[in-house]
Amino acid sequence: MHKHQRCCRLIIILFLCLTATAMAGQPDNAIRIGLDADMSSGSARSGEAIRRGVQLAIDEINAEGGVLGRPLALTVRDHRGNPARGRDNIDELAQMPNMVAVVGGLHTPVAMAELAAIHHHGLIFLIPWAAGTPLVDNGYAPNYVFRVSVRDALAGGFLVEQALGRGYRRLYLLLEQTGWGRSNQQAMTAALAQRGLAPAGTSWFHWGAKTTAPLLKKAIEADADAVLLVANAPEGATVIIDMAQLPENARMPIFSHWGITGGHFFQTAQPHLDGVDLYFLQTYSFIDPPAPGRAQMVFERYRNAFADVDEPAMVFAPAGTAHAYDLIHLLRQAIVKAGTTDRDQVRDALEHLDSHQGLVRVYDPAFTPRRHDALTQQDFRLARYDDRGAIVPQETVQCQF
C-alpha cells in the first residue's frame, strides 16, 4: 500500500472514531441533525467549512437552553463525493432516533442522487452549498429540500453579466461533465441569448481531469476573450495551471463558479495565480459582512472554537460556514414554531417562518410554500484571492449591454 493511501485510511479511521466518540457523549433526548458531506476527498474543506457553521450554531443554541428544552447534536457522515455512498448515508441518517434534518455538502451530483431517498424517508434536507437548480425544483410534493445557497439558474446569469460588464463579449464555457455543469450551461446560454449572444464555444471535462490544455486551445481557436468556469477545487486548479502556461497574450480572464473554493485550490494553484486574471462567485465574507455586529460575534466564537484562524480574512470557504450557520438557526425557528420534532410538521413550519436576521441577509421570510430558495441574485458577489489565500470581495458591475 502506498504511503498516500495509508495516510488517507488513517485520516478516515480517525474521523470515524471521533464521530463515534462524539455520539457516545450525546444525551439520549438530543435532537439530532445530520451532516452528509465530503469530509476526506477533493472538496473536504467545503465539508469542514459547513461542519463549522453547523457546530457554531448548535453550540450557540445549546448555550441558550436548546430547543423545546432539548439539546441539539450533530452526526457527521462522509460521502467523499460519491453518489452511492451519499445515498447510503441518507438511508442510515434517516433511521437514527431523533433525526430531524440533514445538512448536505458541496456536490450537486451527490445530492441529486440522494433526492429519491430523501423524499422516501420524509427527511428534511438543508443545502448550504450545492447550486444545481433541479435540487430544489425537483418535482417532489411535498418538497423536503430547502436551500440557503446559490441557485444556478441565477448564478449563470450573474457570471455572464459580470463578464459582459467588464467588456468581454466572446465567452467560452468550460464546464465539468455533471448535472451541475449542465445546469450552468443552460443558465449561461439563456443569459447570453437574452442579449442576442451565444457562447463562443463549450468544452467539458470529467472529475479527476489531469489536463485541460486541449480545451483551452479550443477556446483560443474560437477567438474567446474570457472563460466561464464551472469546476470544483481539483479540476479548477488544473485549469489555472494550464492557463498560466499559455503565452501571456493568449491567456484569458476566468469568471468561475464558487466550487473552486471548496478544497485546496489556492494551495495548489497559488504559484500560478499571478499569471491568471481570476474572479469567482461568492455570497458572504467576514471581511465585508452585511451585518457587521453579528459577523463579529460569530467570528469571535469561530476563533475560540477553531485555533487555525485568528482573523476574519482567513476564514476559509466563508460562504459555506455562513450558510450552514443560518440554516441551523432557521431550523431551530421551525422546530419552535412546530412545537415538535416531527419531520413533516417541521417541514411545513419551514415554509411559514417569521423574519430572521442571519449572517448572510435578513430572511423575510426565508422560504414560502412556493419558494425553497432563500437567496437571490442580489446576494451574489464577485471575489478574488489575495496573496495569502484570503477571499476578498470585489465590486460587482451592472451590464449595460
Residue 324 included in any domain: yes
**Contact indicator for 164, 196 with CB cutoff of 8 Å:** no
Give 336's contacts (C-beta < 8 A, 6+ positions apart).
67, 68
pLDDT of 4: 42
CB atoms inside a 10 Å sphere around CB 119: 18
Taking the C-alpha atoms of residue 354 and residue 132, their distance in angstroms, rounded to an integer, is 27
Taking the C-alpha atoms of residue 119 and residue 72, their distance in angstroms, rounded to an integer, is 23
Taking the C-alpha atoms of residue 134 and residue 111, their distance in angstroms, rounded to an integer, is 10
What does the block give as the cell for 256? 468561475
Residues 321 and 345 in one domain: yes
Residue 142 included in any domain: yes
Residues 226 and 115 in one domain: no
Side chain identity at residue 65, one-letter code: G
Residue 328 included in any domain: yes
Residues 271 and 344 in one domain: no
Residues 359 and 386 in one domain: no
**Contact indicator for 303, 33 with CB cutoff of 8 Å:** no
Residue 167 included in any domain: yes
pLDDT of 401: 62
What does the block give as the cell for 127? 443545502
Q: In what order do the strands lie in the sheet with 145-147?
A: 72-78, 31-37, 99-104, 124-127, 145-147
CB atoms inside a 10 Å sphere around CB 14: 11
pLDDT of 25: 56
Residues 348 and 388 in one domain: no
Give 328's contacts (C-beta < 8 A, 6+ positions apart).
33, 53, 54, 57, 58, 61, 72, 103
pLDDT of 397: 87
Which residues span the domain enclosing 304?
3-150+290-370
What does the block give as the cell for 109? 451530483
Residues 63 and 102 in one domain: yes
Counting as low any pLDDT under 50, the low residues of the chain are 1-24
* Closest alpha carbon to 265 in 235, 244, 237, 240: 237
Residues 66 and 117 in one domain: yes
CATH code for the domain in which residue 184 is found: 3.40.50.2300
What is the SS3 string spanning the chain? CCHHHHHHHHHHHHHHHHHHHHHHCCCCCCEEEEEEECCCCCCHHHHHHHHHHHHHHHHHHHHCCCECCECEEEEEEECCCCHHHHHHHHHHHHCCCCEEEEEECCCHHHHHHHHHHHHHHCCEEEECCCCCHHHHCCCCCCCCEEECCCCHHHHHHHHHHHHHHCCCCCEEEEEECCHHHHHHHHHHHHHHHCCCCCCCEEEEECCCCCCCHHHHHHHHHCCCCEEEEECCHHHHHHHHHHHHCCCHHHCCCEEECHHHHHCCHHHHHHHHHCCCCEEEEECCCCCCCCCHHHHHHHHHHHHHHCCCCCCHHHCCCHHHHHHHHHHHHHHHHHHHHHCCCCHHHHHHHHCCCCCEECCCCEECCCCECCECECCCHHHCEEEEECCCCCEEEECCCCCCC
What does the block give as the cell for 391? 477571499
pLDDT of 26: 62
pLDDT of 106: 85
Taking the C-alpha atoms of residue 46 and residue 40, their distance in angstroms, rounded to an integer, is 10
pLDDT of 82: 97
Residue 375 included in any domain: no
Taking the C-alpha atoms of residue 103 and residue 74, their distance in angstroms, rounded to an integer, is 10
pLDDT of 10: 46
- On the CB side of 124, CA atoms within 13 Å amount to 29
Domain count, the chain: 2
Residue 52 included in any domain: yes
Global confidence as pTM: 0.90
Residues 125 and 167 in one domain: no
Residues 335 and 248 in one domain: no
Taking the C-alpha atoms of residue 167 and residue 243, their distance in angstroms, rounded to an integer, is 20
Query: Could you report the per-residue pLDDT of 300-336, keeping only the tens digit for each?
Result: 999 999 989 999 999 999 999 999 999 999 999 999 9
Taking the C-alpha atoms of residue 56 and residue 286, their distance in angstroms, rounded to an integer, is 15
